[in-house]
Chains A and B, each alone.
Chain A
Amino acid sequence: MTDQTDNFAALMRQSQNGDQRAYAGLLRETSRFLRPFLAKRLSFTNEVEDLLQEILISIHKARHTYDGKRAYKPWVYAIAKFRLQDYLRAHYSDQLHHAVELSELEESLPEHVTETGISYESISVEVQKLPEKQATILQLMHQEGYTAKEVAEKMGMNESAVKVAAHRAYKVLRKKLER
């Protein structure tokens, strides 16, 4: 463990001296241990990858603030937590905005489906092409009749995350059906 910690610190010192190979190696190792940290806290793989990219860019911007005499990981995790909090803050405020759109969507969806003859069964092929989590959520909500809260309990997610995932799925489906 100490060896690895020393290794990170040594790689970072080399990176600060302009060693590109050491820097690439360090960023690779960093993304390796940050990925599970983010995966535990976020619902979707694409979110993890997006945020990981942001964190790597932040590490790059702040690399002059690392002091080679200190441990590397606490420095990296401080940046990662900062970016994660930023991301979640933006995500939840965005979600509040979406919550209005979603309620509007929920009001108009049954009417629209009846008028055009669209049912879950008729679009189930398209639903299956969605990412697994989104497809499962739509199936549970629209085929089996579960509420968002019940789906959240079943899938071990929070209710808001279910609504956001469903909303994203609706957007994808709407685009496909409009073609």
Chain B
Amino acid sequence: MVNIEELIDTLAQDTTAVKPAPHPYLLSLKWMGWSVAYLLVSLMFMGLRPDMAIKLHEPWFVAEVMALGGIFIATSVSAALLSFPDMHQMRRLAFAPVMAFVLFVLVMFLAWQADNPPAPLPVHSFECTIGIALFSLLPTVWTLYAMRKFASTHYHWAGSTALLAAFSIGALWLRLYEINDSIMHVVEWHYLPMIAFGIAGFGLGRTFLKW
């Protein structure tokens, strides 16, 4: 092993001008921009659910979509903050997804209460999970790839929030595309798998973001 002085000299000789990383807000805005563009293009090709005009007048559907959007924004910002070693010294903001999830659970609970008599369950089940997973694959790849350029000291959490951001945009896409009003179905086959993938992100974070 070389001694510290030698190492410092080597590192100093090795250094060249580096471009400082963009601010995490800008970074998350960029990621969100790409994801929203991807969502819009997909919806343009595949179409919106035919009853969208009616659904937009249903307060619980609008609340659900907005709460899901809240998760997407909070997890994107959090993933950007977690890409920096010191979380850009905005530690509290990195925990924003917790609040977004609390709000989302509350909205889903109230929507379930309001769903009386309950909407019939659709005939399909796991196909929705597969659809969300396939849709979210691309945002997952580009977010993790972008995060690798930084230096996360919380790579488990960073991986998890990155996957939640990607899968929330996937869940949003399916909610805007599929004709389905069963709260039980969306919880079971859309949102619980989304959370499960977020948990799997802990492992992916270790694999892809460890430096």
Contacts and interface: CB of A to CB of B under 8 A. Distances in A.
Given A53-B1, A74-B86, A79-B85, A64 B8 contact: no
A20 B13 contact: yes
B153 A78 contact: yes
A72 to B, nearest CB: 10
A23 B153 contact: no
Nearest to B84: A65
A16 B83 CA distance: 19
B7 interface: yes
B8 A31 contact: yes
Interface string B2-26: 1110011101111111111101000
A17 B14 CA distance: 13
Contacts, number: 91
B109 interface: no
A106 interface: no
Given A61-B211, A74-B89, A23 B20 contact: no
Interface string B49-64: 0000000000000000
A21 B12 contact: yes
A103 B147 CA distance: 44
A70 B11 contact: no
A56 B8 contact: yes
Interface of A: 15-18, 20-21, 23-24, 27-28, 31, 49-50, 52-53, 56-58, 60-68, 70-71, 74-75, 77-79, 81-82
Given A27-B11, A70-B89, 11 more contacts: A28-B8, A49-B3, A58-B211, A65-B83, A65-B84, A65-B85, A65-B150, A67-B23, A68-B20, A75-B86, A79-B85
